[in-house]
C-alpha cells in the first residue's frame, strides 16, 4: 500500500512540475532562434547554441547545404528551431511546431 501511495505522490508532483519545465524549455528555444540571424557563420551559430546549452540535432555540412534543428530537452514536445545554411553561413532560421 505504501508503494501505491508513494507512486501517486510522485505522479502528482510530476504533473505540477512538468508544465513549468515545458514553458521554460520552449522559451529557451524561442529565444535562441530569435538570436540567429541570416549571414552569421556556422561556427558562431554553434557557439551560441553551446553557450545557451541548446540541444542541436542534425548535420553540420561541409561546403554545401546543411540543415540543423535546435530542439527542446523535453521528450514530449515537438517544438524546434529549424536552421538552414549554405557553406559556412546561416541562410535562415524559423520556429516549427509539429
Give 45-56 pLDDT, tens digit per residue. 999 999 999 999
pLDDT of residue 62: 60
Average pLDDT, whole number, for the chain? Answer: 90
CATH code of 33's domain: 3.30.1450.10
Q: Quote the number of domains for the chain.
A: 1
pLDDT of residue 87: 85
Does the pLDDT at position 21 exceed 70? yes
Q: What is the rounded average pLDDT of the residues 25-31? A: 94
- Dihedral sign from CA coordinates of 6, 11, 12, 14: positive
The total number of residues shown for the chain amounts to 98
Does the pLDDT at position 76 exceed 90? no
Domain that holds residue 51: 2-97
Torsion of CA 24, 76, 78, 17, to 10 degrees: -20
Amino acid at each position: 500500500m505504501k508503494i501505491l501511495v508513494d507512486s501517486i505522490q510522485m505522479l502528482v508532483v510530476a504533473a505540477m512540475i512538468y508544465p513549468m519545465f515545458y514553458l521554460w524549455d520552449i522559451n529557451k528555444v524561442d529565444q535562441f532562434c530569435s538570436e540567429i540571424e541570416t549571414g552569421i557563420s556556422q561556427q558562431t551559430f554553434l557557439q551560441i547554441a553551446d553557450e545557451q546549452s541548446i540541444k542541436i540535432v542534425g548535420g553540420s555540412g561541409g561546403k554545401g547545404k546543411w540543415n540543423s534543428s535546435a530542439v527542446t530537452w523535453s521528450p514530449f514536445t515537438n517544438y524546434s528551431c529549424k536552421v538552414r545554411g549554405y557553406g559556412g553561413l546561416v541562410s535562415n532560421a524559423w520556429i516549427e511546431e509539429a
